[in-house]
Amino acid sequence: MTKVLSVTSECVPLIKTGGLADVAGALPGALAPHGVEMRTLLPGYPKVIAAMGRKKTVAQWDDLFGGFARVWRGKLGQQVLYVLDAPHLFDRDGGPYSDAMGRDWQDNAERFAALSYAAARICADGIEGWQPQILHCHDWQAGFAPLYLRELGAGDRVKSLLTIHNIAFQGITRASMIERLGLPHSGFNERGYEYWNNISALKAGLVYADKLSTVSPTYASELMTEDFGMGLDGVLQQRQEDLTGILNGIDEGIWSAPYKSPSGKAKHRRALRKEFGLPDWPGPVCVLISRLTEQKGLDLLLQALPALLDRGGQLVLLGSGDRALEQAFLDYAEVHPGVATTIGYDEALARRMIAGGDAILVPSRFEPCGLTQLYGLAHGTLPLVALTGGLADTVINASPAGLAAGAATGVQFHPVTAQALAQALMKLVKLFEDRATWTKMMKNAMAAPVGWSHSASAYAELYRDMARGT
């Protein structure tokens, strides 16, 4: 049995802002059949502590970055959950990273340094007689943990893995925080955690972790380029032998279709149109569930939408984000009967949209892995995606070769421009008109491997190799 401590800033069903939470929540259960005992360490946000139920104190510090802190032990399903209860850092209204107005917490550096330090101490000292062999760190919020582990003298006994879920977020803070964060001055250089005269928590993880991973093979390659590396491509190039891409999966028990074959979608499609008052047009009903940002290509979609709407297609959108994009889609829905826009997030609505939609749009400029296209595949809701990151790795394009082989599961487009997206939308409509081809693609999509089995096996093998020192 390989023992792994997973340290993460969010985890379903307790706290979620993005795909990281889904992955952190799914991994322990997915890995158990592969001989991995994973326990999860999570910050003690009010929602998390309120949801814990029975708990007991298993570690404590009189002064952890400015106040008393303890580790609670609880349960996450059948798995062990550790929660860092540090009221001075986490007991506040708002989100995990920002206040109710969307402003980053001023002490985020200390908040997540505390999480990282607690993880390192658990690995260095053991907890409840349980001694992790691997420390699995997720994103910048756990980036200092491998460095703290080394400073505690445990780096040889416990190996560390840092997974990059999105390199755009790097945990940057000013250099004057070195002593406050308990970092060694010797590491403040270009070969350490220094980043343009600041401190980068993510860079610390990239430099000091024993192994690195990211959430798709294509994104692993993209990260080593200037276009995608966000200033850290040089660091990743130096560590390319230690970097691997392992695709995310989805919980198929949660995200299974409410029908067994393509024919079962029809009633859900009718219900979705009725719910949003969409006219009975001949084209595909496209759904989009996303943060509304330029990263997600939503500005491109606004320009390309006529290619869909003019050919009888429709769009149902659910999301929030950039205020200008929110208003633009609301305005579009006001004047066009083929567009319905809901600002916010509602998981029950998202499920109805995916079940009833014909296609799901993911026009991202970059996408480390993506989960919505996997939800779409599981429901026979064909993904239309940009050729980038995990979107490239999970969708088989309806190219002449893909169609001839009878393997296509969706539509990819490249380059990531409004013109290319418009052409892809026109292609989507044409495919939808060919009912035999569309039905075959739906069957392919619903049969595609989107769960955790293969990926969990890859993680388990990586952990074993690390524990053996290979």
Cite the annotated binding site for ADP-alpha-D-glucose by residue number: 16
Run of H or E including 4 = strand 2-7
Three-point CA angle 262, 349, 16, nearest 5°: 115
Instruction: Report residue 336: phi and psi, to 5°.
Output: -125, 120
Q: What is the C-alpha to C-alpha distance for residues 367 and 215, in angstroms, rounded to an integer?
A: 10
Find out whether 163 and 211 touch, Cβ atoms under 8 Å. Answer: no
d(CA 219, CA 202): 17
Inter-residue contact 315 to 345 (CB < 8 Å) = no
Is residue 126 classed exposed, middle or buried when 0-12, 13-18 and 19+ CB atoms within 10 A define those classes? middle
Q: Per 3-state DSSP, what percentage of the chain is helix, strand, and coil (rounded to 5)?
A: 40, 20, 35
| Structural contact between residues 41 and 84, judged by C-beta atoms closer than 8 angstroms | yes
343: amino acid identity, one letter: I
Residue where the block lists tokens 């803070």: 173
Strands 285-292 and 198-200: unpaired
Instruction: Report helix, strand or coil for 82.
Output: strand
> Which residue shows structure tokens 């003690």?
44
204, 147 contact by CB (below 8 A) = yes
Binding-site residues sit at 16
Asked whether 258 and 264 are in contact (CB, 8 A), the reply is yes
d(CA 346, CA 351): 9
For residue 299, give both structure tokens: 């500005």
70/409 Cα distance (integer angstroms) = 48
| Beta strand pairing call for 79-85 and 69-76 | antiparallel
In the block, tokens 């026979």 appear at 380
The backbone torsions φ and ψ at residue 226, rounded to the nearest 5 degrees and listed phi first, read: -65, -35
Written as one string, the DSSP assignment of 382-426 is: EEEEESSHHHHHH--B--HHHHHTT---BEEE-S-SHHHHHHHHH
